[in-house]
Copies of this chain bind each other. A is one copy, B any other.
Amino acid sequence: MRSIHVDTGVADALAAFEMPQRLGFGVLMAPVMYRCQYQDGRWWDAELMPYGPLQIDPAAKVLHYAQEIFEGLKAYRVDRDRAALFRPQMNWERMNLSARRLCMPDIPRDIFMQAVQTVTAYCEDFIPRNSGQSLYLRPFMFGTQPDLSVAAANSYSFLVIASPSEVYHSGSMRVLVERNDSRAAVGGTGAEKVGGNYAASLQSVQATLAKGFDQTLWLHPSDRRHIEELSGMNFFAVMEGELHTPALSGSILPGVTRDSLIQLARALDITVHERPMDIDDLLALIKSGTCTEAFACGTATIVSPISVLGDADGQVYELPDTPGPVARQLRQALLDIQEGRGSDRFDWMSPIPPECYP
């Protein structure tokens, strides 16, 4: 393993940390963080530090031109003695796709793994152990070069912070179809996890909440008909017992949970269709009763049933308020693996190597 400098303040930060009763999602930050910096064409030694403010130059590229990417993954310790990460390899691979899209350097595999494993190991005592809870890990990288020209930076910080968390959205969701705004352009950054996608989505999310809905459903930015995803979650529907999800179009994020659910469904003999899904067809199929379930999925939310799809014209299309049989079956199968009750038949769980522990 690469050498890592453990800051003298880490032991005190761990000792001083207290877990509150209510966790929420992404609000309580774990007491340590990992940082590795890139400069002069190479990655330098990594540090494990107490969680705290970063010193960033006011002219750093990240603050002006949003040269920033991130990932989200979870460490579980519900029915396990020791923590385990869910499919970190997928996040590492995707993070480097995002890095390339924004002209940032690749993150070597050993740095990425050291980062998520070390933070998990040091925070093992703070991983909550009720079903649905986990340590949410947030790897991110941004351009630090202080220079106002519009060009890729020559220096970067890669960090991992973490948050002991509940599930992001519990209960069913009311989802509003976004007919005007787009999340990302064709030939844009929709398939990568870059900050600008989320900034662009805030206006629609705020309007959605003001209308009494929970999430925006985005359509293809060019044809404005085909379903893409929710903000940070992929979309699934069930018709006649079969699972349908939008095919990856080049502007949809290839979700780790999406991929896992497709594999699980196939293993459970549920037919899966990855295909272009027209929103008007879907709404008609909900109305006619052919579509019996819809749900969103993602690392933060796991599987969230959609109880209402609202259209811009004010029409609402209702589905059962409780998870349907397919959503329930898939969610349970996934959680059984993540939380350590089921057999890890796909080899998805990644233990923390002993040398990562303090």
Contact = CB atoms under 8 A, between A and B. Distances in A.
Interface residues of A, number: 66
16 contacts: A26-B59, A33-B58, A53-B56, A54-B57, A59-B161, A64-B198, A65-B195, A66-B194, A66-B195, A66-B198, A102-B203, A150-B198, A151-B205, A182-B185, A184-B188, A189-B199
A231 interface: yes
A68 B58 contact: no
A27 B147 contact: yes
Given A103-B202, A150-B201, A29 B59 contact: yes
A135 to B, nearest CB: 13
A244 B66 CA distance: 32
A11 interface: no
A196 B150 CA distance: 12
Interface of A: 25-27, 29, 33, 51-59, 62-68, 70, 101-103, 136, 138, 140, 142, 146-152, 159, 161, 163, 168, 180-189, 194-203, 205-206, 221-222, 231-232
A201 B194 CA distance: 13
A198 B189 CA distance: 11
Contact of A64 (B58, B70, B181, B188): B70
